[in-house]
Amino acid sequence: MKVLLAVTGGIAAYKAVELVSILRKRKDEIKVLMTESATKFISPLTFSAVGNTEVYTNEFDYTGLISHTGLSAWAEIMVIAPATANTIAKIANGIADNIVTASALAFKGPKIVVPAMNVRMYENPVTQDNIQKLLNYGWTIVDPESGHLADGEEGKGRYPDNAKIVFEIESLLTRKDMGGLRVLVTAGPTREAIDPVRYISNRSSGKMGYEIAKMAAIRGAQVDLVSGPVNIPAPFKVKRYEVESVQEMAEKVLGLLENEDVVIMAAAVSDYKVERVSDQKIKKINEELNLKLIKTTDILLEISKRRRSNQFVVGFAAETQNLVENAKHKFESKSLDMIVANDVSRKDIGFESDYDEVFIISKTSDPVHVERMTKREIANLLLDMVVTQKGEKI
């Protein structure tokens, strides 16, 4: 994506540095604009170094076409973060007296404003009227958060989480081919208690399931995410249900199942649990500790028994050998529409990694080998196939 990021003169300007860093890591193309006031808070060199990009602070330091028209024509999306009350007022009323406001007036694509200021300035009716004007003119507003402000006051006006801004950027530039669909995604590991302090689990980080849930939401779906214990924040515009055991996950998934159009079971669900969980911590007294394990609920099998004919169900198979063969067996035995198989014995992909390499097996084609790429890219490719095959199924 080609992102034109405009930074204005608020104390939150330093937080835009992290936004530039995130966009660069995503391999987006970035150009940065700064008002003169913004340069008083943070150096243009900081943005240039972090983003490996050009930074423009006035209308006369652009070597190509006229600065504001050239830059606004180059970008796919424009983001003003942070946006001061002064800049919001100028843009809302068509004032173009610096490189940021002139570029905003010339830009015709999707555009985002991120207000960040003192609570009294934010709540002032004039500011609220100007924000409403921007909404009417087609701007997307990422609302500020409430809390402790830089000047010591409490209230609404804090610069929001950069992840939320990135979500809105992606959302505005992504086709909404999943609009109208309700999608259930499971993610992460499960935990089966041994005693009050110990449990059986696995190495799943939940990254794959969370990327699927996030990208489905970005593509317009209503997403329910049933998650085991992970260290990942809930994606924006996704309803997350936190569970721990297989039984808890089964109850939540089966309770939601009736209303879902697509079910993607990316969670790494424990196959066994301890038959008798100790009420007290088991003391290290004997040389051996023998635990009797029994099978947990097979959630995919229960789904296959209860699903509607027009529901599309995707399973995951984490394997260490005979990858395609084992996945095909699971695919057929659980009556799935699609299954994603990955080799969890490899160190460069899979558990805890941002990358994976998978085979996708479905009823309509031979196994598709997806070579090593980011889990976000795999999530999008998987959803492409789901959208296509779900449509054919209807």
Between residues 65 and 335, the one the model is more confident about: 335
Partners of residue 30 on adjacent β-strands: 3
Is the backbone peptide bond immediately before 144 cis, with ω within 30 degrees of 0? no
Q: Which amino acid is at 252?
A: K
DSSP 270-300: -SEEESS--SSPPPS-SS-----EEE---HH
Which ranges of 161-295 does DSSP label H, i.e. alpha helix? Answer: 162-172, 207-218, 246-256
HSE value, Cβ hemisphere, 13 Å, CA-based, for 337: 26
Q: Distance between CA atoms of 82 and 157, rounded to whole angstroms?
A: 10
Question: For the chain, which residues make up each domain, given as ranges?
Answer: 2-172, 182-393
Residue 59 banded pLDDT, cuts 50, 70, 90: confident
Q: Which CATH architecture has domain 182-393?
A: 3-Layer(aba) Sandwich (3.40)
pLDDT for position 69: 83
Burial class of residue 353, CB neighbours in 10 A (0-12, 13-18, 19+): middle
Is residue 344 within 8 Å of residue 319, measured between CB atoms?
A: yes
281-307: string of b/e by CB count within 10 Å (b at 16+)? eeeeeeeeeeeeeeebbbbbeebeeeb
Q: Of the listed 162, 202, 231, 286, which one is catalytic?
A: 202
Q: Largest Cα–Cα distance in the chain?
A: 80
Q: Which amino acid is at 326?
A: N
Q: What are phi and psi of 62, to 5 degrees?
A: -100, 125
pLDDT for position 61: 63
pLDDT for position 67: 73
Is residue 34 within 8 Å of residue 62, measured between CB atoms?
A: no
Q: Which amino acid is at 164?
A: K
Partners of residue 29 on adjacent β-strands: 2
Residue 64 banded pLDDT, cuts 50, 70, 90: low
- Do domains 2-172 and 182-393 share one topology? The answer is yes
Provide the 10 A C-beta neighbour count for residue 180. Answer: 10
CATH code, residues 2-172 = 3.40.50.1950
Tokens 């990358």, located at residue: 355
Q: Distance between CA atoms of 130 and 92, rounded to whole angstroms?
A: 6
- Percent pLDDT > 90 in the chain is 88
Q: Which amino acid is at 310?
A: N
Residue 373 banded pLDDT, cuts 50, 70, 90: very high
Predicted confidence (pLDDT) per residue in 173-205, tens digit? 999 999 999 999 999 999 999 999 999 999 999
Burial class of residue 25, CB neighbours in 10 A (0-12, 13-18, 19+): exposed
Whether the per-residue pLDDT at 102 is higher than 50: the answer is yes
Task: Name the CA dihedral angle for 28, 33, 39, 42, rounded to a multiple of 10 degrees.
Answer: -10
**Residue 58 annotated to the active site:** no
Q: Which amino acid is at 101?
A: T
Provide the 10 A C-beta neighbour count for residue 171. Answer: 19
